[in-house]
Amino acid sequence: MKKPIIPGRPGGEAPQVEEPTEPREPLPPKPDQRGPDSYSPTGQATGMPAEFRAQRGAYLTTAQGLRLPDTDHSLKAGPRGPVLLRDHHLREKITHFDHERIPERVVHARGAAAHGVFRGYGNAAAITKAAFLAKGEETPVFVRFSTVLGSRGSADTVRDTRGFATKFYTSEGVFDLVGNNIPVFFIQDAIKFPDVIHAAKPQPDREIPQAQSAHDTFWDFVSLHTEATHHTLWNMSDRGIPRSFRTMEGFGVHTFRLVNADGGTSLVKFHWKPRMGVHSLVWEEAQLINGIDPDFHRRDLADAIEAGAFPEWEFGVQVFPDTPEQTFEGIDLLDPTKIVPEELAPVQPIGLMTLNANPVNYFAETEQVAFHVGHLVPGIDVTDDPLLAGRLFSYLDTQITRLGGPNFAQLPINRTHAQVNDLLRDGMHQTAVHAGAAPYRPNSLDGGCPFQAGTAAGGYVETPVQVAAAPRVRAAPASFDDHFSQPRMFWLSLSPVEREHVIAAYTFELSKVYEPAIRERVVRVLGGIDPRLSAQVAEGLGLPAQEQPGKPASVSASPALSQMGGTWPITGRVIGIVAGDDDLDAVRRVRQEVFEAGMVPLVVAASGGVLPGGGDPVPVQRTFAAARSVEFDALLVAGAPGPGKDARGVRDAKAANGKAAMVIDPRVLLMLHEAYRHAKPLGGWGDAATAFDVAGIATDAPGIVIGSDAAAVLGEVTELLTRHRVWDRFPAA
Ligand code: HDE
What is the pLDDT, as a whole number, of residue 615?
76
Closest by CA to 175, choosing from 311, 315, 276, 321, is 315
Chosen domain end from 509, 529, 561: 561
Q: Determine if ligand 1 sits within 6 Å of the CB of residue 404.
A: no
E strands, 260-303, are: 265-274
What is the three-class DSSP state of 720? helix
Q: Determine if ligand 1 sits within 6 Å of the CB of residue 165.
A: yes
Q: Determine if ligand 1 sits within 6 Å of the CB of residue 163.
A: yes
In a domain, 323, yes or no: yes
Helix (H) or strand (E) run with residue 304 in it: helix 296-306
Q: Do 585 and 533 share a domain, yes or no?
A: no
Q: Do 518 and 549 share a domain, yes or no?
A: yes
- Parent domain of 552: 487-561
What CA–CA distance (Å, rounded) separates 302 from 306?
6
Distances (CA, A) of 557 to 235, 279, 493, 554: 18, 20, 5, 10
What is the three-class DSSP state of 301? helix
Q: Do 551 and 633 share a domain, yes or no?
A: no
Q: Do 169 and 312 share a domain, yes or no?
A: yes
The rounded percent of the chain whose pLDDT value lies above 90 is: 81
Q: What angle do CA 222, 228, 229 make, to 5 degrees?
A: 90
99 CA from centroid of ligand 1 (Å): 25
What CA–CA distance (Å, rounded) separates 464 from 462?
6
Give bridge partners of residue 704 from the DSSP assignment: 682
Per-residue b or e along 499-512, where b marks 16 or more CB atoms closer than 10 Å to that residue's CB:
bbbbbbbbbbbbee
CB of 347 within 8 A of CB of 316?
yes
pLDDT tens-digit readout, 360-376: 999 999 999 999 999 99
What is the pLDDT, as a whole number, of residue 549?
72
What is the three-class DSSP state of 266? strand
Q: Residues 218-233: what's their mean pLDDT?
A: 98
pLDDT tens-digit readout, 92-147: 999 999 999 999 999 999 999 999 999 999 999 999 999 999 998 899 999 999 99
Give the atom of ligand 1 at the shortest distance from the alpha carbon of 108.
Answer: 29
What CA–CA distance (Å, rounded) separates 72 from 83?
13
The DSSP secondary-structure symbol of 227 reads G
- Has 725 been labeled as part of a binding site? no
Q: Higher confidence at residue 645 or residue 173?
A: 173
The DSSP secondary-structure symbol of 450 reads S
Q: Do 592 and 553 share a domain, yes or no?
A: no
In a domain, 70, yes or no: no
What CA–CA distance (Å, rounded) separates 265 from 465?
10
Chosen domain end from 380, 414, 448: 414
664 CA from centroid of ligand 1 (Å): 50
Q: Residues 581-597: what's their mean pLDDT?
A: 88
What is the pLDDT, as a whole number, of residue 639?
78
What is the pLDDT, as a whole number, of residue 695?
93
In a domain, 337, yes or no: yes
In a domain, 419, yes or no: no
What CA–CA distance (Å, rounded) separates 557 from 54?
55
Beta-sheet pairing, 173-180 with 331-332: unpaired
User: Does 646 score more than 70 pLDDT?
Assistant: no
What is the pLDDT, as a whole number, of residue 581?
67
What is the pLDDT, as a whole number, of residue 426?
97
CB of 139 within 8 A of CB of 168?
yes
CB of 708 within 8 A of CB of 638?
no
Let me know if 181 is a catalytic residue.
Answer: no
- Has 519 been labeled as part of a binding site? no
pLDDT tens-digit readout, 411-460: 999 999 999 999 999 999 999 999 999 999 999 999 999 999 999 999 99
- Has 105 been labeled as part of a binding site? yes
107 CA from centroid of ligand 1 (Å): 7
Let me know if 88 is a catalytic residue.
Answer: no
Q: Terminus-to-terminus CA distance in the chain, angstroms?
A: 89
Q: CB neighbours (10 Å) of residue 656? A: 8
Return the CATH number at 123: 2.40.180.10
What CA–CA distance (Å, rounded) separates 487 from 509?
18
Q: How confident is the model at residue 686 (pLDDT cuts 50, 70, 90)?
A: confident
Q: CB neighbours (10 Å) of residue 593? A: 17
Distances (CA, A) of 81 to 15, 51, 76, 419: 14, 41, 6, 57
pLDDT tens-digit readout, 262-273: 999 999 999 999
Q: Do 596 and 557 share a domain, yes or no?
A: no
- Has 193 been labeled as part of a binding site? yes
In a domain, 78, yes or no: no
Beta-sheet pairing, 173-180 with 162-170: antiparallel
Helix (H) or strand (E) run with residue 596 in it: helix 584-596
Any idea how long the chain is?
733
What is the pLDDT, as a whole number, of residue 657?
45
Chosen domain end from 414, 435, 460: 414
Give the atom of ligand 1 at the shortest distance from the alpha carbon of 393.
Answer: 41
CB of 567 within 8 A of CB of 549?
no
Distances (CA, A) of 601 to 514, 567, 576, 587, 705: 45, 21, 6, 10, 18
CB of 685 within 8 A of CB of 709?
yes
What phi and psi, each to the nearest 5 degrees, are found at residue 487?
Answer: -55, -35
CB of 375 within 8 A of CB of 173?
yes
Single-letter residue type at 171: S
395 CA from centroid of ligand 1 (Å): 7
Q: Do 678 and 584 share a domain, yes or no?
A: yes
Decide: residue 409, CB within 10 A, 0-12 exposed, 13-18 middle, 19+ buried.
middle
User: Does 566 score more than 50 pLDDT?
Assistant: yes
Catalytic one of 108, 225, 271, 724: 108
What phi and psi, each to the nearest 5 degrees, are found at residue 392?
Answer: -60, -25
pLDDT tens-digit readout, 238-258: 999 999 999 999 999 999 999
Q: Do 578 and 528 share a domain, yes or no?
A: no
Is the torsion defined by CA of 539, 545, 549, 553 positive or negative?
positive
The rounded percent of the chain whose pLDDT value lies above 70 is: 89
Closest by CA to 141, choosing from 22, 363, 311, is 311
What is the pLDDT, as a whole number, of residue 587?
92
What CA–CA distance (Å, rounded) separates 164 from 248?
9
CB of 729 within 8 A of CB of 676?
yes
Closest by CA to 214, choosing from 674, 541, 486, is 541
Angle, helices 496-511/516-527, rounded to nearest 10 degrees: 160
Catalytic one of 96, 115, 123, 180: 180
Q: Residues 599-625: what's their mean pLDDT?
A: 89
Is the torsion defined by CA of 261, 263, 265, 270 positive or negative?
positive
In a domain, 523, yes or no: yes
Q: How confident is the model at residue 644 (pLDDT cuts 50, 70, 90)?
A: very low
What phi and psi, each to the nearest 5 degrees, are found at residue 165?
Answer: -110, 125
Mean pLDDT is lowest, of 244-258, 325-339, 577-591, for 577-591
Q: How confident is the model at residue 559 (pLDDT cuts 50, 70, 90)?
A: very high
Q: How many domains does the chain have?
A: 3
Decide: residue 289, CB within 10 A, 0-12 exposed, 13-18 middle, 19+ buried.
buried
CB of 394 within 8 A of CB of 147?
no
Residue of 394, 402, 403 with the most ligand 1 atoms within 8 Å of its CB, for mutation: 394
What is the pLDDT, as a whole number, of residue 650?
46
Q: Determine if ligand 1 sits within 6 Å of the CB of residue 375.
A: no
Q: Residues 678-690: what's their mean pLDDT?
A: 93
User: Does 8 score more than 60 pLDDT?
Assistant: no
Closest by CA to 629, choosing from 293, 188, 184, is 293
Give the atom of ligand 1 at the shortest distance from the alpha carbon of 253.
Answer: 32
E strands, 343-440, are: 348-357, 380-381
398 CA from centroid of ligand 1 (Å): 10
Question: Please, what is the average pLDDT of the chain?
Answer: 91
In a domain, 102, yes or no: no
User: Does 17 score more than 70 pLDDT?
Assistant: no
What CA–CA distance (Å, rounded) separates 39 from 703?
39
What CA–CA distance (Å, rounded) separates 98 from 368?
18
User: Does 45 score more than 70 pLDDT?
Assistant: no
Percentage helix, strand, coil, to 5, in the chain?
A: 30, 15, 55
Cis before 450 (ω within 30): yes
What is the pLDDT, as a whole number, of residue 545?
85
Q: Determine if ligand 1 sits within 6 Å of the CB of residue 398.
A: yes
Q: Do 704 and 648 share a domain, yes or no?
A: yes
pLDDT tens-digit readout, 369-395: 999 999 999 999 999 999 999 999 999
What is the pLDDT, as a whole number, of residue 13?
58
177 CA from centroid of ligand 1 (Å): 11
What is the pLDDT, as a whole number, of residue 663?
80
- Has 395 been labeled as part of a binding site? yes
What CA–CA distance (Å, rounded) separates 641 from 688?
8
What is the pLDDT, as a whole number, of residue 656?
44
Q: Do 512 and 606 share a domain, yes or no?
A: no
Contacts of 49 (CB under 8 A, 6+ apart): none
Mean pLDDT is lowest, of 6-10, 245-249, 318-322, 621-625, for 6-10
What CA–CA distance (Å, rounded) separates 343 from 340?
8
- Write the ipTM: 0.96
Q: Determine if ligand 1 sits within 6 Å of the CB of residue 146.
A: yes
What is the pLDDT, as a whole number, of residue 401?
97
Q: How confident is the model at residue 546 (pLDDT cuts 50, 70, 90)?
A: confident
Mean pLDDT is lowest, of 366-380, 597-611, 653-667, for 653-667
Closest by CA to 580, choosing from 604, 560, 563, is 604
pLDDT tens-digit readout, 143-188: 999 999 999 999 999 999 999 999 999 999 999 999 999 999 999 9
User: Does 724 score more than 80 pLDDT?
Assistant: yes
What phi and psi, each to the nearest 5 degrees, are found at residue 111?
Answer: -150, 170
343 CA from centroid of ligand 1 (Å): 29
Q: Do 653 and 724 share a domain, yes or no?
A: yes
What phi and psi, each to the nearest 5 degrees, are found at residue 276?
Answer: -80, -5
User: Does 3 score more than 60 pLDDT?
Assistant: no
Closest by CA to 295, choosing from 249, 244, 250, is 244
User: Does 216 score more than 90 pLDDT?
Assistant: yes
Distances (CA, A) of 178 to 121, 372, 466: 21, 7, 26
Residue of 106, 108, 234 with the most ligand 1 atoms within 8 Å of its CB, for mutation: 108
Q: CB neighbours (10 Å) of residue 127? A: 22
pLDDT tens-digit readout, 451-505: 999 999 999 999 999 988 899 999 999 999 999 999 999 999 999 999 999 999 9
The DSSP secondary-structure symbol of 242 reads B
What CA–CA distance (Å, rounded) separates 413 from 402?
15
Q: Do 580 and 557 share a domain, yes or no?
A: no
Q: How confident is the model at residue 4 (pLDDT cuts 50, 70, 90)?
A: very low
Residue minimizing CA distance to atom 41 of ligand 1: 391
Return the CATH number at 682: 3.40.50.880
What is the pLDDT, as a whole number, of residue 313?
98
In a domain, 17, yes or no: no
What CA–CA distance (Å, rounded) separates 239 from 181?
8
Q: What are the helix (H) ranges across 22-177?
A: 88-98, 131-134
Give the atom of ligand 1 at the shortest distance from the alpha carbon of 109.
Answer: 30
